[in-house]
């Protein structure tokens, strides 16, 4: 069974009959899951013997009768309806702002959270989670608990500061090492505080940002342990919003870390809202969200714990969701590793800021066109459950290195100069790189420095390292080892200017990589960025445009091959052999440039890199149509997405399937298409309707 459903927001006005009707409608639409919020019902009659769980038990009981699995959502929206009802609340439970004041609303319109490191709040959470588990764990309809929806926490109270100080102690070991890094003069750990003063050292800012993300993991682990102590059987889920790589506000304000959450939780989820206004998030960016989250998830599988179902509120028609958009987003998520998908939400909001917003049904309970499309998807997911449950996204042949420490460093060196400098150069560079290859129908995965150090990137033909401001000796050695074993490292933008303590290296790229490359780079200049080919390789683009800066090359004890030069003659792109592989070093911010302005020349360079290094797996010959592939033992699922406003004829070539005869069947229509195998590839001709999303199952015939 592929988990598929919607969030059902229970209102105090809902009678038992209304609740049962909503649950029945969800099940009759072809959905098999429902997420219920809130999980306790403080508005119930306190005289009930099972107060405040009576409504929850009735939901679980009826869901079991109709074959609906239930996830109880315990925290993440509003503390007074969850773990801290108003009648137990104290002012000291509020989180504290940087100026030391209690924050009743955390500075936001939408949600609140308390000080999760306060001892009494910890007790409230333990009692709350334990009570839910003890009351609901024996119901067969229960799947598990979403213990923290859309993680967010920040507080500058003494309890949290003490946790931060312990984090610093574990990182640095001695006060002297902390003082050296921070340019501080502490005599005791208790004196360390978060500081925005960056003039002498950026490390106070960077360390706090690292701790801020890690603190989310600490809280998730604590809550998971509380829940598991009372119910060791049912899964525990926690959710971020999108990915830290793609959403700057999610990274900077919420301190969400995909890898921290995946490591801390039993199962990982995300909220996914691709349309906040009239223009939806770009398709490549949606794909990057899923790619990044899949990289972080323990088994590459994650929940879409909330998928946008409609406009946001009563005054925002611009975020309206069309049925074909809902279908596409859903299938994009499924194609990219989602293990379950939940729409936010079933019923639209009846109260509050988002009144009239969201919902697969309207305010009268009628099914909308979006609901009907969701039902069609549910029927396909159920009929082909074996494939949707077990087939996995196809692994790319190249990957992008993402380093959260580099993310923090880039922020620390740019925030104070805003708006003159962008604080998203690093993630924009990653996005531009991903988009450029997406535009060429070449997938890229995401890996981390831990993956590189542990050797888990050895299966990739190429590794892109973009904007890597910091390099340690360990990371430099791991990068060199990857190349020595036959990999190709493609480097651009900032590279090893500083170490992991923020100290400037004498020679960049530092950490020992300068010795491996045999040269160094020096000063940066903002002009003279045009690039021309300087190689006899006719496949190499004749010209390109650099972006933002160019770096000055200083010769060393090796003579790298100069593939291209800046107009005034200085090297622009260098190739250096190392062991069985090679480094390709681009001395400008090439992919950041693509994120800002695109460029046919840069796309031509991406094609060159793909063909030279064997990065392309499949081909599709049709503008406006994108593809994704999930593979299994008996074939594959081929997803086709047509962005165009007209029908498109597509020629698809799949290069990864074992030889043999295959039958291709479109799962929504049942239409079968013949295939042909030649030159080691499987070929099929497909017509994609305007604004359509199609899924073909290719099954091998003996």
Q: Which domains does the chain have, with CATH numbers?
A: 1-28+42-62+273-386 (3.20.20.80), 398-613 (3.40.50.880), 618-701 (2.60.40.1180)
Cα(91)–Cα(104) distance, integer angstroms: 8
pLDDT digits (tens, 9 = 90+) for 327-368: 999 999 999 999 999 999 999 999 988 999 999 999 999 999
pTM over 0.85: yes
d(CA 98, CA 653): 56
Asked whether 685 and 650 are in contact (CB, 8 A), the reply is yes
pLDDT digits 0-9 by tens, 14-54? 999 999 999 999 999 999 999 999 999 999 999 999 999 99
Q: What pLDDT digit, counting tens, does each position of 540-560 carry? A: 999 999 999 999 999 998 889
Instruction: Using the structure block, give the residue that is written with the tokens 């290719």.
Output: 698
Listed residue (638, 287, 256) closest to 442, CA to CA? 287
Sheet holding 392-393, edge to edge: 392-393, 625-632, 635-642, 693-701, 661-666, 672-673
Q: What is the pLDDT of residues 408-427, one digit of tens each?
A: 999 999 999 988 999 999 99
Q: Which of the four pLDDT bands, split at 50, 70 and 90, describes residue 633?
A: confident
pLDDT for the residue 626: 95
pLDDT top residue among 329 and 661: 329
What stretches of 384-503 show up as alpha helix (H) in DSSP?
385-390, 404-414, 425-439, 449-454, 473-484
Chain length of the chain: 702
105-156, pLDDT tens digit by residue? 777 767 778 999 999 999 999 999 999 999 999 999 999 999 999 999 999 9
pLDDT digits (tens, 9 = 90+) for 177-227: 999 999 999 999 999 999 888 999 999 999 999 999 999 999 999 999 999
User: Quick one: pLDDT at residue 679?
Assistant: 78
pLDDT of residue 686: 94
Kindly report the number of other CB atoms within 10 A of residue 280's CB atom.
Answer: 19
Report how far residue 647's alpha carbon sits from residue 393's, in angstroms, rounded to the nearest whole number: 26
Indicate if the pLDDT at residue 277 is higher than 90: no
pLDDT at residue 101 in the model: 82
Distance CA 171, CA 159 (A): 19
Nearest C-alpha neighbor of 18 from the set 346, 310, 342, 309: 346
CB 346 within 8 A of CB 402: no
Q: What per-residue confidence (pLDDT) applies to 250?
A: 78
Q: What is the mean pLDDT of residues 500-517?
A: 96
Residue 702: predicted pLDDT? 66
pLDDT (average), residues 296-322: 94
Instruction: Tell me the Ramachandran region of residue 548: left when phi exceeds 0, alpha when psi lies from -120 to 50, beta otherwise.
Output: left
Q: pLDDT tens-digit profile of 80-110?
A: 999 999 999 999 999 998 888 888 877 776 7
pLDDT averaged over the chain? 95
Say how many C-beta atoms besides its own lie within 10 A of residue 417's C-beta: 10
Query: Which has the minimum average pLDDT: 226-230, 290-294, 418-422?
Result: 418-422
pLDDT for 397 beyond 80:
yes
Mean pLDDT of 259-273: 96
Residue 371 has pLDDT above 80, yes or no: yes
694 and 656 in contact (C-beta within 8 Å)? no
**Per-residue model confidence (pLDDT) at position 446:** 98
Task: Specify the pLDDT at position 680.
Answer: 80
Instruction: Please give the pLDDT value at position 662.
Output: 87
Mean pLDDT of 572-592: 98
Give pLDDT, residue 279.
Answer: 82
| Number of other residues whose CB lies within 10 A of the CB of residue 655 | 12
Inter-residue contact 31 to 70 (CB < 8 Å): no
- Look up residue 281 and give its DSSP letter: P
């Amino acid at each position: 069974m592929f988990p598929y459903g919607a969030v059902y927001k229970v209102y105090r006005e809902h009678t038992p009959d209304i609740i049962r009707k909503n649950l029945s409608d969800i099940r009759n639409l072809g959905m098999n899951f429902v997420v219920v919020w809130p999980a306790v019902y403080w508005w119930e009659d306190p005289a009930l013997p099972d107060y405040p769980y009576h409504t929850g038990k009735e939901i679980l009981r009826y869901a079991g009768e109709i074959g609906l699995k239930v996830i109880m959502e315990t925290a993440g929206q509003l503390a007074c309806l969850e773990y801290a009802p108003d009648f137990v609340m104290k002012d000291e439970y509020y989180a504290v702002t940087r100026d030391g004041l209690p924050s009743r609303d955390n500075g936001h319109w939408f949600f609140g959270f308390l000080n999760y490191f306060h001892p009494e709040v910890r007790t409230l959470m333990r009692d709350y989670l334990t009570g839910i588990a003890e009351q609901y764990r024996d119901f067969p309809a229960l799947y598990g608990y979403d213990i923290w929806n859309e993680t967010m926490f920040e507080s500058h109270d003494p309890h949290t500061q003490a946790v931060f100080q312990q984090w610093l102690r574990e990182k640095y070991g001695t006060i002297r090492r902390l003082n050296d890094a921070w340019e501080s003069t502490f005599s005791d750990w208790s004196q360390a505080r978060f500081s925005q003063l960056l003039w002498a050292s950026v490390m106070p800012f960077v360390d706090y940002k690292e701790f801020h993300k890690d603190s989310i993991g600490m809280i998730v682990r604590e809550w998971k342990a509380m829940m598991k102590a009372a119910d060791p059987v049912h899964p525990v889920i926690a959710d971020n919003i999108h990915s830290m790589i793609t959403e700057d506000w999610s990274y900077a304000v919420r301190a969400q870390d995909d890898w921290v959450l995946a490591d801390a939780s039993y199962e990982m989820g995300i909220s996914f809202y691709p349309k906040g206004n009239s223009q939806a998030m770009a398709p490549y960016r949606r794909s990057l969200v899923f790619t990044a989250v899949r990289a972080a998830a323990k088994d590459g599988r994650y929940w879409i714990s909330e998928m946008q179902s409609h406009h946001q509120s009563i005054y925002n028609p611009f975020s309206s969701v069309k049925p074909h958009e809902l279908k596409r987003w859903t299938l994009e998520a499924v194609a990219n590793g989602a293990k379950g998908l939940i729409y936010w939400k079933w019923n639209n909001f009846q109260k509050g800021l988002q009144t009239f917003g969201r919902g697969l049904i309207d305010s009268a309970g009628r099914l909308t066109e979006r609901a009907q499309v969701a039902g069609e998807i549910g029927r396909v997911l159920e009929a082909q459950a074996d494939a949707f449950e077990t087939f996995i996204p196809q692994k790319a042949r190249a990957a992008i290195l993402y380093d959260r420490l580099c993310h923090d460093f880039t922020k620390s060196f740019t925030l104070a100069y805003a708006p003159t400098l962008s604080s998203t150069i690093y993630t924009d560079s990653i996005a531009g790189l991903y988009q450029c290859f997406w535009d060429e129908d070449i997938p890229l995965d995401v890996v981390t420095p831990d993956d590189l150090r542990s050797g888990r990137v050895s299966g990739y033909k190429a590794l892109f390292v973009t904007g890597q401001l910091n390099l340690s000796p360990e990371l430099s050695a791991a990068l060199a080892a990857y190349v020595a074993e036959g990999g190709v490292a493609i480097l651009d933008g900032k590279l090893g200017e500083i170490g992991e303590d923020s100290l400037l290296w004498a020679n960049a790229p530092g950490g020992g990589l300068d010795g491996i490359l045999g040269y160094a780079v020096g000063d940066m200049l903002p002009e003279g960025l045009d690039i021309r080919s300087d190689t006899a390789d006719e496949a190499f683009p004749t010209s390109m445009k650099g972006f933002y800066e160019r770096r000055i090359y200083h010769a060393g004890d090796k003579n790298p091959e100069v593939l291209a030069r800046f107009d005034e003659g200085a090297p622009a792109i260098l190739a250096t052999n190392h062991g069985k592989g090679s480094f390709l070093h681009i001395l400008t911010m090439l992919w950041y440039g693509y994120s800002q302005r695109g460029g046919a020349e840069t796309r031509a360079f991406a094609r060159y890199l793909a063909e030279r290094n064997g990065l392309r797996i499949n081909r599709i010959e049709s503008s406006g149509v994108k593809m994704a592939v999930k593979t299994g033992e008996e074939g594959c699922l081929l997803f086709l997405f047509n962005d165009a406003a007209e029908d498109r004829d597509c020629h698809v070539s799949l290069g990864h399937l074992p030889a043999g005869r295959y039958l291709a069947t479109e799962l929504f229509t049942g239409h079968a298409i013949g295939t042909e195998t030649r030159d080691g590839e499987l070929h099929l001709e497909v017509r994609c309707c305007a604004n359509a999303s199609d899924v073909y199952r290719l099954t091998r015939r003996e």
